[in-house]
């Protein structure tokens, strides 16, 4: 009988982008993450595409940070990338005061 083994990668996200709608106490409340950086050879060329700038006066996400977020990632040159899915158990996202996704990055990127 054929067995099908599906690996589900999940990661804890530590994020310094505290002005993101999904950020709570430097944790991430997004249901899933999209990281860009198709040609990235360094972390600064990656970015968190899930970032949404928190506008003043608008309520931020009501959810709690997750420790098991699924991360879809285009940075295929990263050691942790497995068929465009992040296999790291913990990632660090940086980009204090970002206004656009391009101003954030995945600092865990490793070539």
User: Shortest Cβ distance from residue 95 to ligand SF4 (Å)?
Assistant: 13
DSSP 66: P
Residues 6+ apart with CB under 8 A from 25: 65
- One of 66, 78, 94, 104 touching ligand SF4 (CB under 6 A): 78
Dist CA 52 CA 109 (whole Å): 21
- One of 30, 47, 86, 98 touching ligand SF4 (CB under 6 A): 86
In the block, residue with structure tokens 């991430």:
28
Q: Does residue 98 touch ligand SF4 according to CB under 6 A?
A: no
How many other CB atoms are found less than 10 A from the CB of residue 2?
Answer: 3
In the bound state with ligand SF4, the residue whose beta carbon lies nearer, of 64 and 76, is 76
- One of 22, 80, 95, 104 touching ligand SF4 (CB under 6 A): 80
Q: Does residue 17 touch ligand SF4 according to CB under 6 A?
A: no
How many other CB atoms are found less than 10 A from the CB of residue 41?
Answer: 13
Q: Judge contact between 24 and 111, C-beta under 8 A.
A: no
Residues that bind ligand SF4 (CB under 6 A): 35, 46, 71, 73, 75, 78, 80-81, 86, 88, 91, 106, 108-109
């Amino acid at each position: 009988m054929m067995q099908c083994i599906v690996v589900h990668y999940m990661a804890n996200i530590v994020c310094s982008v505290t002005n993101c709608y999904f950020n709570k106490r430097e944790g991430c409340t997004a249901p899933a993450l999209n990281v860009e950086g198709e040609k990235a050879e360094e972390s600064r060329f990656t970015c968190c595409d899930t970032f949404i700038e928190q506008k003043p006066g608008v309520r931020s996400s009501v959810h709690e940070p997750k420790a098991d977020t699924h991360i879809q990632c285009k940075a295929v040159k990263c050691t942790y990338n497995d068929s465009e899915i992040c296999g790291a158990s913990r990632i660090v996202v940086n980009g204090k005061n970002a206004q656009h996704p391009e101003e954030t990055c995945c600092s865990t990127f490793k070539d």
